Each structure stands twice: as structure tokens, then as C-alpha cells.
């Protein structure tokens, strides 16, 4: 299975070069495609049914937990780009769509659209009513974004309680803006109950939609890059290797490692995504929508 988290080594590396805009685009598109490969693949999940009524199911509960952890990494700040060091990878996609380096024949349009749609879905407030946390005797109505929900669930999955103090502060802030006050230790005390209600219920309900968004981003990246792949692909067959080829990378890509990534990215575009576009059933898009979500009976 492709492993997106391997790029954390690169993200923490000291003394990163001052990459130019084209080099940054190659880096981010490679990393983002790899991260989606690590989440949406046949080892992690199954896609059941027929369009437009498909459903995604994780192979096991462990796979759903791991998916949530990887998704939080995807939605968390990256530190490769010195120009915008606190952007997450969706923000980086949005910046690429605003000034694409390899644009041909409006191929960037699908990527622009799906990035905006996913960001809007993640950042719109959802109203939850009568959420019961028995450990501290709290019943609360509150709003939070799907991004906040996924982030808290992913961090609970990833860390033990000694590493969740920041997450506890975040949840306290969410409740405080909804006129509900608890302290940080109370937040830690109810995280198991939060997980049961929001990962096991809300996340699982929307996991098909999330996978659809991610797969559409992957397909849109491929659509955008296909013209560039064909433009720079050079067949160099020999008697010994009749399928030999190379890529003539743009002169703007000067960094040796980014040249390596460019060849990898063009190879990914050459072969294309291995999961085709799919449409998730509307029945998995009706609950937990902005301003109308209800607690599970």
C-alpha cells in the first residue's frame, strides 16, 4: 500500500531550498497524489454497488481508524512551502489552481471545482443537537465544522491522552463559542465518548462522500497533468529495452530531487489512477448536513 506519511521526513528536513513556483507545484501534486493513494485504495476499502448509488466500506475497523489518521495529516499544515508555511494540502491545491504551471486547454478546471467543493464541505458548520457525554453529565447542542470533527477524531486515534492536550483545548474552544463551558481535563475525560459518537457514527456515515471527494481530486490531478506528460514524454527504445523512455523536464525545474519527483509524477499521469470515478448514493449524503444534524437516537 502506498504510504503517504513517509513525506513527513521531507516536511521536517532542515534547510529546505527556496523552491520556485513550478518546483513547488511538482512537490505538492506528487505528495497529494501519493497521500490519496494511501487512503483510497483496494487494500483499505471496498467500493460496493452501482453508480450513482455506490457505497464505500472499510476492510476492517482498523482500516477506518488508519484512514482517519491519514486524512488528518492531509488536512493539517505542511511545512515544505516557506511562502505559505501554514497551508494544508487543500490550500496548496487551491493555490495551484489559481496559477497552474502546466495548464493546457483548461485542464485545470475539474481540479479547481472539486477542490473548492471539498473545502466548502469541510468548512461549513454542522449543527449537532442533544449530544450526551455521560462521564461529566453534559448534554449539549453545538456547531462545528466537519474539518474540526475529523481533526479531533483523527488525533484521538493517533495519540494517547498525554498527547491530546492541544486537542482538548480545541474542543473547549468549539464548545465555548457555542456557550458551553468545560475545562481541558473534562474534554480529555469525554474523548472516548466523543469518538464513539463522532468517529463510529458521523465519520463512518460520511466516509463514502470523503472517499468520493478524494478520488475525484486524484482523477482531476491526472486530467490536469496528462497534457504535460504527453508533451515531455520521449520514447528512447533500444534493442535491449524496446520500451525505454525519458521525460524532458522543464528548465524551470532546477532542483535535482524535484526533477526526480517530476519523472515520478509524469509516470503517475502516464498510468493514471487505478480507481475509476464513482458516484456515492444520495442516501449517504442526507444526514449531518449543515445546520440540520441531529444526534443519533
- The more confidently predicted of residues 1 and 37 is 37
Grid cell digits, residue 111: 481540479
- The more confidently predicted of residues 171 and 295 is 171
- Rounded Cα–Cα distance for residues 173 and 103 (Å): 42
Grid cell digits, residue 144: 462545528
pLDDT at residue 292 above 50?
no
pLDDT digits (tens, 9 = 90+) for 88-147: 999 999 999 999 999 999 999 999 999 999 999 999 899 999 999 999 999 999 999 999
pLDDT, average across residues 270-297: 79
Q: Which pLDDT belongs to residue 287?
A: 86
Tell me which H or E stretch contains 18: none
- Rounded Cα–Cα distance for residues 88 and 72 (Å): 10
**Beta strand extents in the chain (DSSP E only):** 45-48, 55-58, 125-133, 138-145, 233-235, 245-247
pLDDT digits (tens, 9 = 90+) for 25-65: 999 999 999 999 999 999 999 999 999 999 999 999 999 99
Residue 72 makes CB contacts below 8 A (sequence gap 6+) with: 150, 151, 153, 154, 155, 158
Q: Considering Cα of 35, then 39, then 44, then 46, what sign does the dihedral take?
A: negative
Reported pTM: 0.90
Amino acid at each position: 500500500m502506498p504510504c503517504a506519511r513517509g513525506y513527513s521526513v521531507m516536511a521536517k528536513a532542515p534547510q529546505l531550498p527556496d523552491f520556485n513556483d513550478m518546483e513547488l507545484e511538482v512537490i505538492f501534486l506528487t505528495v497529494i497524489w501519493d497521500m490519496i493513494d494511501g487512503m483510497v485504495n483496494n487494500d483499505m476499502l471496498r467500493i460496493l454497488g452501482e453508480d450513482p448509488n455506490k457505497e464505500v466500506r472499510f476492510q476492517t475497523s482498523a482500516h477506518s481508524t488508519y484512514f482517519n489518521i491519514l486524512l488528518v495529516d492531509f488536512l493539517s499544515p505542511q511545512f515544505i512551502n516557506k511562502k505559505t508555511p501554514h497551508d494544508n494540502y487543500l490550500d496548496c491545491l487551491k493555490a495551484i489552481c489559481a496559477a497552474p504551471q502546466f495548464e493546457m486547454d483548461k485542464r485545470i478546471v475539474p481540479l479547481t471545482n472539486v477542490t473548492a467543493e471539498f473545502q466548502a464541505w469541510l468548512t461549513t458548520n454542522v449543527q449537532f443537537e442533544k449530544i450526551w457525554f455521560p462521564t461529566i453529565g453534559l448534554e449539549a447542542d453545538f456547531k462545528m465544522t466537519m474539518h474540526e470533527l475529523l481533526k479531533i477524531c483523527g488525533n484521538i486515534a493517533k495519540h494517547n491522552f498525554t498527547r491530546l492536550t492541544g486537542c482538548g483545548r480545541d474542543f473547549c474552544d468549539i464548545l465555548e463559542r457555542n456557550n458551553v463551558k468545560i475545562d481541558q481535563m473534562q474534554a480529555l475525560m469525554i474523548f472516548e465518548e466523543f469518538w464513539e459518537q463522532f468517529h463510529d457514527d458521523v465519520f463512518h456515515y460520511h466516509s463514502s462522500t470523503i472517499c468520493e471527494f478524494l478520488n475525484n481530486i486524484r482523477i482531476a490531478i491526472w486530467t490536469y497533468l496528462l497534457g504535460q506528460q504527453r508533451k515531455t514524454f520521449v520514447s528512447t527504445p533500444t534493442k535491449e529495452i524496446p520500451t525505454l523512455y525519458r521525460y524532458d523536464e522543464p528548465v524551470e525545474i532546477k532542483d535535482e530531487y524535484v526533477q526526480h519527483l517530476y519523472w515520478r509524477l509524469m509516470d503517475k499521469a502516464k498510468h493514471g489512477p487505478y480507481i475509476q470515478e464513482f458516484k456515492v448514493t444520495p442516501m449517504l449524503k442526507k444526514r449531518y448536513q449543515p445546520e440540520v444534524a441531529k444526534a443519533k437516537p
